[in-house]
């Protein structure tokens, strides 16, 4: 059937076949992003390709009650429904296929793909608990597929991405490592392994993985950006800036690398330089989490908390309706409090609570508002 391995987050990489490639790309873009390093870079201071259906001709054999022709027909039908955005029908086929052909890894991979898409839709609808459960099950399906079709690098990589999305970082690292062992010529596999190592604080090992990536592809911008992550973690600001400038030279139009440079400038005490980098970006680019974070942080460093709140308000209004949208409301509320506008902060609290009533950040903002009121009263 010609399903081949995944090629990774590099802007140039393309999956070499695979029925579900376009859909899984979209799914994991919202889950992980082109450069997980970018996400880690920003969150530790406080996304565009993913696996297609990666099971190759050599790996799977159908041992269930369906013959190969019937399985292929089911896969094609599910693919058509996914293309038409009829997810319940695709899920029904995938679920039935797992039941009828439980030994076929393609069935489990298909259901995992559908569940990941379902989780995205749950996020957009504010159903956070359902999204979490769907991502966990998506990973379990991918993990089952890797057991049924061992030795497929793209499938291991896909399982790693699903594990990351499900919050199972250690398991993700194991999958990425296996993918790299199976296909040592693919630079994307050690690149993703490095992201897990960075998140786990194993910086020396992450640096070694990035060295392997750059040996295979010296022009991989995410690898250079990840080197900047490590340098920043170690407090080597000039080194971090040098690495991120290489990433920007390779991918000058990528707003996330621009945001990363802005973060380095902020850490260097240069918030105005950071704003120069970001303020002229398009409305779509300014709605990116990374850009909004750095815009708001730079304004905050300059004492302009109202402008910081506007940066988060823009992300809330124009950014993706994903699981992190409530955080934009929380950050906008916090900035409004710092600007002395308690009524606006309370409105942002209501918006955040409507999206994620149990989130600890929402509870923290709720506690801050009366504290600020009391402090203002004492000052008066």
pLDDT by position in tens, the chain (length 380): 233 232 333 333 333 233 333 333 333 333 333 334 444 444 444 433 334 454 433 333 334 456 788 888 999 999 999 989 999 999 999 999 999 999 999 999 999 999 999 998 888 787 888 999 999 999 999 999 999 999 999 999 999 999 999 999 999 999 999 999 999 999 999 999 999 999 999 999 999 999 999 999 999 999 999 999 999 999 999 999 999 999 999 999 999 999 999 999 999 999 999 999 998 899 999 999 999 999 999 999 999 999 999 999 999 999 888 888 999 999 999 999 999 999 999 999 999 999 889 899 999 999 998 765 444 444 44
Domain assignment present for residue 380? The answer is yes
Domain assignment present for residue 342? The answer is yes
pLDDT computed for residue 126 by the predictor = 74
Range of the domain at 330: 275-380
CA separation, residue 134 to residues 78, 104, 218 (Å): 18, 21, 37
Domain assignment present for residue 201? The answer is no
Q: Which residues contact 50 (CB under 8 A, 6 or more apart)?
A: 6, 24, 25, 27, 28, 29, 32, 158, 161
pLDDT computed for residue 272 by the predictor = 97
Domain assignment present for residue 76? The answer is no
Domain assignment present for residue 351? The answer is yes
Domain assignment present for residue 325? The answer is yes
Task: Please count the structural domains in the chain.
Answer: 1
pLDDT computed for residue 372 by the predictor = 55
Answer left, alpha or beta for residue 126, where phi above 0 means left and psi between -120 and 50 means alpha.
left
User: Which CATH number is 279's domain given?
Assistant: 1.25.40
Burial class (CB in 10 A: 0-12, 13-18, 19+), 213: buried
Domain assignment present for residue 248? The answer is no
Domain assignment present for residue 322? The answer is yes
């Amino acid at each position: 059937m010609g399903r081949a391995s995944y090629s990774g987050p590099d802007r140039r990489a393309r999956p070499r076949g695979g029925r579900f490639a376009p859909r899984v790309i979209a799914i994991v873009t919202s889950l992980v992003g082109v450069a997980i390093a970018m996400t880690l870079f920003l969150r530790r201071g406080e996304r565009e390709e993913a696996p297609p259906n990666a099971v190759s001709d050599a790996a799977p054999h159908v041992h269930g009650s369906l013959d190969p022709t019937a399985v292929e027909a089911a896969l094609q039908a599910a693919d058509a429904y996914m293309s038409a955005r009829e997810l319940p029908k695709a899920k029904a086929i995938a679920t039935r296929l797992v039941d009828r052909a439980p030994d076929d890894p393609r069935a489990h991979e298909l259901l995992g793909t559908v569940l990941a898409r379902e989780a995205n839709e749950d996020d957009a609808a504010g159903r956070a608990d359902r999204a979490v459960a769907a991502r966990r099950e998506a990973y379990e399906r991918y993990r089952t597929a890797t057991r049924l079709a061992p030795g497929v690098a793209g499938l291991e990589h896909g399982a790693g991405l699903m594990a990351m999305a499900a919050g199972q970082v250690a398991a993700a690292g194991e999958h990425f490592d296996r993918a790299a062992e199976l296909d040592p010529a693919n630079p994307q596999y050690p690149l993703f392994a490095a992201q897990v190592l960075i998140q786990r604080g194993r910086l020396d090992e992450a640096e070694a993985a990035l060295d392997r990536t750059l040996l295979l592809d010296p022009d991989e911008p995410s690898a250079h950006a990840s080197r900047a992550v490590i340098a920043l973690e170690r407090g080597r600001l000039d080194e971090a800036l040098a690495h991120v400038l290489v990433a920007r030279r390779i991918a000058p139009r990528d707003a996330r690398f621009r945001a990363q440079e802005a973060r380095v400038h902020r850490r260097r005490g240069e918030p105005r330089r950071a704003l120069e980098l970001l303020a002229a970006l398009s409305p779509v680019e300014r709605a990116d989490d990374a850009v909004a974070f750095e815009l708001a942080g730079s304004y905050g460093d300059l004492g302009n908390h109202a402008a910081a709140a506007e940066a988060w308000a823009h992300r809330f209004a124009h950014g993706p309706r994903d699981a992190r949208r409530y955080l934009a409301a929380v950050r906008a509320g916090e900035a409004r409090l710092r600007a002395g506008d308690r009524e606006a902060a309370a409105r942002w609290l209501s918006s955040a609570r409507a999206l994620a009533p149990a989130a600890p950040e929402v509870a923290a903002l709720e506690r801050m508002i009366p504290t600020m009121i009391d402090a203002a009263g004492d000052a008066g």
